[in-house]
């Protein structure tokens, strides 16, 4: 058994069954081992940003890490933006990154790069394998780390893959997430009993139906405010589920959402701050006279903590009002109309991937009446997360009958458009709505915030027209069926049709 084979056996033993791959020469012995040893589904992605974003979504949907197979150095670099998003969303991923053979690296061949240095900022675990004999052990450690919700990067010099003497690693026991101690629960209960204006801020894995019911029960019983973080990896939402809103993105609205709060209780959430700084505006969103207290840190189990808190407070289950589904919109194209149509037509148990940027920003409050679904955002704000996430979500959901719906801004789609090809090859049940406004609308809004009217140079950098992108042709160029919609009626029909058939479909929604 060579090192590469021991790596494959270890991955399988540790429960890895999916690899999002974009291999190169330095990974060829690993490819050969994956070929020889059955048990891992290898999903080819046409660039690394698709692979890393897909692995992120695989975790969010399945709760299990997938692996990526990345080419050495610059290959990893191409994956970093979506790994940044995955890190912010606390997803578990095992990156297998090829590298120069250990004895070849000092020769500084052209592709030699600082693979470890690039990996470190986005990884909770980084290790470069040193021999075939220890690759199996390294891989078992990497998978164990990934299962805790972190990115584990295992760098695989070519000779550690091809040399004989590999030993498969045994799965590690992964400890459960720690639970806050009793005194923390008691202290937060005291705050809530004080009657001072208090907000529960939820993030991480707490945004599921069961935990949201607990949090809602506490909020109702103690008259507290309840919000989710600004961007979240995974929210369970829809008809019959507790309708939780998020901290708004826009800085003034974000500050407004915390006005008057005296106690902020964090549950797997970070202290809320502005997405960017703006001249003359505060960076931290909570008021000066507000205390910030942690019920569950981001690596702790907030769901268990909320259950204990509800019990301490005697907060019983509350009835969740069922928001009726809106009718599909038939008037002018607009954000509220698109949200209404989506809410009306969304299939049960759908997975919505939201990189709608400015157009999609208000979708949340108009979609509480949709059939129960999961909503995924781009937690790190790195542009281009949407389509790779959609591909990974659809791979994880394949065979379950669940539909993935991507709400995708046009500008950000172009950072990872090659994702469409993988959707076509895998015949993924994926509907993509491209919001085609032919500009970086969010940046035009930000430019207005600078206090100037954009001149020709600025417009050249913020406008996407001249020529307009044709997403139908782009999709067809990668084997994905597609159509344009220039009315809500057309959008509704295309959406409904796509939900009734299998395979991917792209709708280019002309919003101007």
Q: Which residues contact 220 (CB under 8 A, 6 or more apart)?
A: 315, 318
**Contact call for residue 484 and a second copy (CB under 8 A):** no
Minimum Å distance from CB 46 to a second copy?
Answer: 4
Minimum Å distance from CB 317 to a second copy?
Answer: 33
**Contact call for residue 129 and a second copy (CB under 8 A):** no
Q: Which is nearer to a second copy, 277 or 322 (CB)?
A: 277
**Contact call for residue 417 and a second copy (CB under 8 A):** yes
Which residues in 326-365 contact a second copy (CB under 8 A)?
none
Strands 373-376 and 235-237: antiparallel
User: Length of the chain in residues, anyone?
Assistant: 512
What is d(CA 96, CA 123) in angstroms, rounded to the nearest whole number? 12
**Contact call for residue 113 and a second copy (CB under 8 A):** yes
Minimum Å distance from CB 28 to a second copy?
Answer: 5
**Nearest C-alpha neighbor of 230 from the set 83, 378, 374, 384:** 378
**Contact call for residue 60 and a second copy (CB under 8 A):** no
Minimum Å distance from CB 72 to a second copy?
Answer: 9
Q: Which of 108, 245, 311, 348 binds a second copy (CB under 8 A)?
A: 108
Q: Which of 3, 53, 73, 92 binds a second copy (CB under 8 A)?
A: 73
Count of chain residues binding a second copy (CB under 8 A): 105
Q: Which of 53, 238, 380, 388 binds a second copy (CB under 8 A)?
A: 380
Q: What is the DSSP string of 196-235?
A: S-EEEEE-GGG-SHHHHHHHHHHHHHHT-EEEE-SS-S-E
What is d(CA 23, CA 45) in angstroms, rounded to the nearest whole number? 9
**Nearest C-alpha neighbor of 68 from the set 142, 173, 160, 141:** 142
Which residues in 256-315 contact a second copy (CB under 8 A)?
270-271, 273-277, 279, 283-284
Rg of the chain in Å (alpha carbons): 24
**Nearest C-alpha neighbor of 206 from the set 238, 174, 236:** 236
Which residues in 451-480 contact a second copy (CB under 8 A)?
452, 454-458, 460-462, 464, 466-474, 476-479
In degrees, rounded to 5, the angle at the alpha carbon of residue 292 between the alpha carbons of residues 290 and 295 is 140
Q: Which of 7, 21, 218, 343 binds a second copy (CB under 8 A)?
A: 21
- Sheet with 198-202, strands from edge to edge, namely 225-228, 198-202, 263-267, 291-296
First to last CA, the chain: 60
Is the previous residue joined to 487 through a cis bond, with omega within 30 degrees of 0?
no
Q: Which of 114, 245, 252, 348 binds a second copy (CB under 8 A)?
A: 114
Minimum Å distance from CB 335 to a second copy?
Answer: 20
Which residues in 189-228 contact a second copy (CB under 8 A)?
none
Minimum Å distance from CB 43 to a second copy?
Answer: 8
**Contact call for residue 415 and a second copy (CB under 8 A):** yes
Three-state SS at 357: helix
- Given a contact cutoff of 8 angstroms between Cβ atoms, the answer to whether 39 and 7 are in contact is no
Q: Which is nearer to a second copy, 128 or 341 (CB)?
A: 128
Q: Which stretch binds a second copy (CB under 8 A): 192-200, 304-312, 388-396, 442-450?
A: 442-450
Which residues in 384-413 contact a second copy (CB under 8 A)?
384, 411
- Given a contact cutoff of 8 angstroms between Cβ atoms, the answer to whether 405 and 431 are in contact is yes
Q: Which of 12, 46, 167, 179 binds a second copy (CB under 8 A)?
A: 46
DSSP state of 262: S
Q: Is 195 left (phi over 0), alpha (psi -120 to 50) or beta?
A: left
Q: Which stretch binds a second copy (CB under 8 A): 213-221, 356-364, 438-446, 489-497?
A: 438-446
**Contact call for residue 120 and a second copy (CB under 8 A):** yes
Q: Which is nearer to a second copy, 176 or 452 (CB)?
A: 452
Minimum Å distance from CB 113 to a second copy?
Answer: 6
């Amino acid at each position: 058994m060579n090192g590469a084979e021991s790596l494959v056996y270890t991955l399988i033993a540790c429960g890895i069954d999916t690899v999002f791959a974009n291999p190169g020469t330095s990974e060829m012995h690993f490819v050969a081992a994956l070929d020889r040893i059955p048990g891992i589904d290898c999903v080819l992605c046409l660039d690394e940003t698709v692979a890393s974003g897909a692995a992120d979504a695989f975790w969010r949907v399945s709760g299990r890490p997938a692996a990526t197979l990345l080419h050495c150095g610059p290959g990893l670099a191409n994956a970093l933006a979506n790994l940044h998003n995955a890190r912010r969303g606390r997803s578990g991923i095992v990156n297998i990154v090829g590298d120069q053979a250990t004895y070849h690296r000092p020769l500084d061949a052209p592709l030699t790069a600082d693979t470890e240095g690039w990996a470190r900022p986005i990884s909770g675990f980084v290790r470069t394998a040193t021999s075939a004999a220890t690759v199996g052990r390294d891989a078992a450690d990497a998978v164990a780390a990934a299962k805790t919700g972190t990115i584990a990067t295992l760098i695989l010099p070519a000779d550690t893959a091809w040399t004989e003497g590999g030993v498969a690693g045994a799965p590690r026991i992964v400890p459960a997430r720690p639970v806050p101690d009793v005194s923390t629960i008691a202290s937060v209960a005291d705050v809530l009993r004080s009657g001072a204006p208090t907000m529960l801020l939820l993030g991480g894995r707490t945004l599921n139906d069961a935990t949201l019911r607990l949090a809602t029960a506490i909020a109702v019983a103690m008259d507290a405010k309840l919000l989710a973080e600004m961007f979240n990896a995974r929210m369970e939402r829809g008809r019959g589920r507790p309708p939780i809103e998020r901290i708004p993105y826009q800085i003034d609205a974000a500050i407004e959402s915390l006005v008057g709060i005296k106690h902020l209780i964090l549950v797997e959430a970070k202290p809320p701050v502005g997405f960017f700084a703006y001249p003359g505006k505060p960076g931290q969103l909570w008021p000066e006279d507000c205390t910030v207290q942690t019920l569950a840190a981001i690596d702790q189990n907030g769901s268990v903590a909320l259950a204990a808190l509800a019990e301490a407070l005697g907060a019983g289950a509350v009835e969740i009002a069922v928001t009726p589904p809106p009718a599909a919109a038939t008037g002018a194209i607009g954000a509220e109309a698109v949200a209404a149509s989506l809410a009306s037509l969304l299939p049960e148990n759908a997975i919505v991937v939201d990189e709608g940027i400015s157009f999609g920003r208000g979708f949340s409050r108009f979609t509480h009446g949709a059939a129960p679904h999961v909503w995924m955002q781009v937690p790190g704000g790195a542009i281009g997360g949407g389509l790779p996430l959609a591909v990974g979500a659809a791979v994880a959901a394949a065979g379950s009958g669940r539909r993935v719906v991507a709400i995708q801004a046009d500008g950000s789609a172009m950072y990872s458009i090659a994702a469409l090809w993988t959707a076509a090859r895998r015949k993924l049940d994926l509907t993509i709505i491209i919001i085609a406004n032919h500009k970086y609308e969010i940046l035009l809004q930000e430019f207005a915030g600078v206090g100037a009217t954009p001149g020709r140079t600025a417009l050249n950098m913020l406008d996407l027209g001249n020529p307009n992108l044709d997403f139908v042709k782009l999709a067809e160029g990668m084997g994905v069926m597609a159509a344009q919609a220039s009315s809500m009626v057309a959008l509704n029909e295309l959406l409904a049709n796509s939900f009734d058939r299998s395979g991917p479909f792209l709708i280019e929604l002309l919003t101007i």
